Chain A
């Protein structure tokens, strides 16, 4: 039997399936939840929202510069999730599908919103060497997200897409309408900048700990 694949909301292209790490019982529950949502059951919709809202706000937060904007993206993203839920074909995790919807919604928000759009311009630069250093990450996810949000919008977006979401530079190039090399270059700059900030932050933390007698 021909298995239907998950399709992208925007271009209708087949999306790669994410291998599920869920247990069979959880998967059955999730399937039932999706079916109930498709039947427009309010309690199921609320349950689905409660299940993924916090982690998805974390995603939206990394792409924007304020909590209000992140909530706007989350709201728009969930409206799209419920509107296009019939396109989810139970291939891969539902969370991964919702995450992709959120990322796409966030990118659309950045492109449409004047405040972000002016900063989201990418120059076609030559390939930039990526630094090989792998500093220790002694900060929490929230602190890391805060640092990412300090990056310029272009760097922030490409860093999020590559490092956090795992998209390749070819995919990022297609998503943002830029050259693959530009994506690599922007990412390298973002990575170097972030590593320098991380080192500085870790030194500050070290000094603070030293003076505090830790």
Chain B
């Protein structure tokens, strides 16, 4: 306690000093203590959905592999032949070669077959081991092929050209599992090749060329060779901004000359408009999975993290609680920025995105294919330090609640596929994304949307 008389007097005098606060103080205190934090339910619902989706995809992929494996196993048991060593769609089993070779009369001893290894069964190997003599038909029972067309030997001998179209007759006792499109194609191609071999009196060199061509058409060059889902890593970087139209993405922040603004006489602040936002660096990274729909069309979807930013001119920061009222919804801001143009503030919005895109490839077989894409992206706000302007109180403050947490964006881009022959081709090109949903909710108003423009790179992780 003060030891001096003066201090005691001051203490006593100030103890009774009271001032009546304005009613606004209680309103703001009440608004702050009544505020209840909304639970981020949607995010918690979305995450398990995404995880379940991923799990389902994995299970489906495994199921496909298992069913294919079962077919091969059953076939081998039925015919008493070893199962194909590999269930790759663009491979050619040693047993197929055997079957072809058995249907011809060999004038010289057959070339010793190599033991079947995992990577051995390419069409080149099959052609290489074929006898280079004229083929002559011989009615002898052929070893049935462990494929869908194992009943085709009779067709071949009847002299009718087998149809490449579906459906292909299958032995349902053995092949009770559904066949994929490429399996059916492969089967049809083999049927055709065998027919060519048996019907023609062509020199074996000619047949070899034709078979090579056929194999190349069906198993090497065909765009339908890979019907699996293609996983890829995508990265985008560029600039983003809040604007009312797409062209505003690259706009610069508007700094007002405060001295030239009209003064209403009440401190000159009431007529200060909010400063315009400018473009700032943004990026996104994620994973995608792509599915072929037809020769030229693809559908992709994925999950990615994106960070969009913009900048704006503000005045000085004030570290004080302030309750803001926007259309009867009040919010307590921990700090705020005065209107002005003294400093530049960078607003950052962190999103999790689920993009769905439709791709079209100009020339799937060409060296450089161009693939335009359009899509929709569902975005969910994770965090934000973005400033909004209080039109009634003339300052900027950070209120995450005012932002539409779930938004729908439209996207468009052009991808140029590079290193196409590599195991991991890269698709690179310009990319544009713009919000269909307004960035701010109805309580704040405004028609601003988040826009992004930049480069998008997609690195495929598929194994050819």
Contact = CB atoms under 8 A, between A and B. Distances in A.
A54 interface: yes
A142 B317 CA distance: 31
A35 interface: no
A49 B316 CA distance: 31
Contacts of B1: 166
A164 B14 contact: yes
B320 A112 contact: yes
B4 interface: yes
A157 B418 CA distance: 68
A58 B19 contact: yes
Contacts of A112: 319-320
Contact of A71 (B5, B18, B25): B25
Given A55-B18, A73-B320, A164-B14, 4 more contacts: A49-B26, A57-B20, A78-B25, A162-B2
A14 interface: no
B319 A134 contact: no
A206 interface: no
A75 B316 contact: no
A79 B320 CA distance: 12
Contacts of A135: 6
A114 interface: yes
Contacts, number: 110
A141 interface: yes
A54 B18 contact: yes
A151 interface: no
A109 interface: yes
Given A141-B13, A166-B1, A166-B2, A49 B7 contact: no
A187 B417 CA distance: 75
Given A54-B19, A79-B332, A114-B317, A166 B11 contact: yes
Nearest to A160: B14
A72 B11 contact: no
Contact of B14 (A54, A69, A82, A145): A145
Given A71-B25, A72-B320, A112-B319, A137 B9 contact: yes
B105 interface: no
Among all A-B residue pairs, the 9 with the closest Cβ atoms: A141-B17, A112-B319, A54-B18, A58-B17, A57-B19, A76-B321, A134-B5, A72-B320, A134-B6
Contacts of B7: 162-163
Interface in B1-56: 1-2, 4-7, 9-11, 13-22, 24-26, 28-30, 32-33
B60 interface: no
A113 interface: yes
Contact of B6 (A54, A83, A191): A191
Contact of A58 (B9, B14, B26, B320): B14
A133 B29 CA distance: 43
Interface residues of B, number: 36
Given A72-B320, A113-B320, A137-B9, A53 B25 contact: yes
Contact of A164 (B11, B26, B318, B322): B11
B32 A164 contact: no
B11 A163 contact: yes
B30 to A, nearest CB: 7
A39 B445 CA distance: 36
A144 B321 CA distance: 28
Interface of A: 42, 45-46, 49, 53-55, 57-58, 61-62, 67, 69-76, 78-79, 82-83, 109, 112-114, 130, 133-135, 137, 139-142, 144-145, 162-164, 166, 191, 195
Contacts of A74: 21, 25
Contacts of A140: 13
A113 B321 CA distance: 11
Interface in B311-334: 316-323, 332
23 contacts: A45-B33, A46-B30, A55-B18, A57-B18, A57-B19, A70-B19, A71-B22, A73-B320, A75-B25, A75-B29, A75-B32, A79-B29, A79-B33, A109-B320, A113-B318, A114-B316, A114-B318, A134-B5, A134-B9, A137-B9, A137-B13, A144-B10, A145-B14
Contacts of B317: 114
A159 B153 CA distance: 109
Contacts of B6: 133-135, 137, 163, 191, 195
Contacts of B20: 53-54, 57
Contact of B29 (A78, A130, A141): A78
Contacts of B18: 54-55, 57-58
A109 B318 CA distance: 9
A46 B248 CA distance: 48
A79 B321 contact: yes
Nearest to B7: A163
Contacts of B15: 141
Interface in B97-119: none
Contacts of A164: 10-11, 14
A163 B10 contact: yes
Contacts of A144: 10, 13-14, 17
B392 to A, nearest CB: 16
B22 A82 contact: no
A134 B9 CA distance: 9
